[in-house]
Structure 1
Amino acid sequence: MRLPAEAVATTALIEVVRISALPTGRGVPYPGRTVAHWTGSEAADVLALIESLPGGEQHRCGFSPGWSVRAYEDSLDLALFEAAFCFTCHEVRMHGPAVPPEPDTQFFDADAPSAQALLTLFRAVGP
Structure 2
Amino acid sequence: MQLPAEVLADTALIEVVRISARPKKVGAPYPGETVAHWAGSEVADALALIGTLPGSSRHRCGFSPGWSVRGYEKSLQILLFEAAFCFSCHEVRMHGSAVPPDLANQYFDVDAPPAQELLARFRAAGS
TM range (shorter): over 0.9
Note if 1:116 corresponds to 2:124.
no
- Please show how residues 22-61 of structure 1 align to structure 2 within 5 Å: 22-61=22-61
Identify unmatched segments of 5+ residues in structure 1.
none
What one-letter code is carried by the residue in structure 1 that aligns with 2:84? A
**Deviation at 1:46?**
0.5
Equivalent residue for 1:8? 8
Name the CA distance, whole Å, in 2 between partners of 1:78 and 1:17.
17
- Please show how residues 71-82 of structure 1 align to structure 2 within 5 Å: 71-82=71-82
After superposition, what is the alpha-carbon deviation per residue over 1:32-88, rounded to whole angstroms, capped at 9, x for unaligned?
Answer: 000000001111000000000000011110000000000011110121000000001
Note if 1:87 corresponds to 2:65.
no
**Deviation at 1:6?**
1.4
Identify unmatched segments of 5+ residues in structure 2.
none
Equivalent residue for 1:20? 20
TM-score if structure 1 supplies the norm length? Answer: 0.96
TM-score if structure 2 supplies the norm length? Answer: 0.96
Name the CA distance, whole Å, in 1 between partners of 2:118 and 2:40.
17
Q: CA RMSD in A?
A: 1.2
- Give runs of ≥4 in structure 1 deviating > 6 Å: none
